[in-house]
Chain A
Amino acid sequence: QVQLQESGPGLVKPSETLSLTCTVSGYSISSGYFWGWIRQPPGKGLEWIGSIYHSGSIYYNPSLKSRVTMSVDTSMNQFSLKLSSVTAADTAFYYCARITYATNWFDPWGQGTLVTVSS
């Protein structure tokens, strides 16, 4: 059974960089699939942030592209998200998910982690 778990600081100061890691169990990242990040401000809708393939192909949401960096660590079976120059608008639940590229759907999802941007 494939499981994903987000981890990282729950509080980030404005203008700093948000860093999160998604640890995958039950499946080797290097075996395939895209891996993605999605966020959800409290009480609002979902927003796709970006997706990465184990070989390094990356796609970012155009609205966040200038601030987002994603990477994969196949040795740790993890992938990561960095979002720079954060503001209060980046306060959200951050989810990681596996993406089946051929049919373009997100499953499974991690349980999500709340990141608050505040001084």
Chain B
Amino acid sequence: QTVVTQEPSFSVSPGGTVTLTCGLTSGSVSTTYYPSWYQQTPGQAPRTLIYSTNTRSSGVPDRFSGSILGNKAALTITGAQADDESDYYCVLYMTPGIWVFGGGTKVTVL
């Protein structure tokens, strides 16, 4: 069974840049997996950041960007702010009609 992998945690300084990745235990992530990214703070429902690899959801600041880096999907936060401290989840679309979430990355801003 293919598992979607994410780094368990990352730390970034205020104003710094961090890139989170979303990979597969078997194979490479491409745009055909329609990677999307979600931000979740404690006690809240997930909030959509990026869909279809690199399209920002409405209202999402442009410091969040999505891409494919090598064989993984990536979420980059440029100019990190204190309120970016959250859990970040990617999800990949595995045809036909199956979605698989990564385990999530906890981002600390300090």
Contact = CB atoms under 8 A, between A and B. Distances in A.
Contacts, number: 65
Interface string A100-116: 10011111111110000
Given A45-B104, A51-B99, A61-B98, A106 B57 contact: no
Interface string B22-39: 000000000000101010
Question: How big is the A interface, by class?
Answer: 20 to 34
Q: How large is the interface on B (under 10, 10 to 19, 20 to 34, 35 or more residues)?
A: 20 to 34
B96 A47 contact: no
A110 B45 contact: yes
Interface in B29-62: 34, 36, 38, 45-48, 51-52, 55, 57
Interface in A66-106: 95, 99-100, 103-106
A105 B101 CA distance: 11
A82 B55 CA distance: 33
Given A95-B45, A107-B57, A109-B46, A45 B34 contact: no
B99 A48 contact: yes
A100 B46 CA distance: 16
A104 B50 CA distance: 11
Contacts of B51: 100, 103-105, 107
Contacts of A112: 45
B97 A51 contact: yes
Contacts of B48: 105-109
A45 B101 contact: yes
B30 to A, nearest CB: 13
Interface string B85-106: 0000101010011111111100
B34 A104 contact: yes
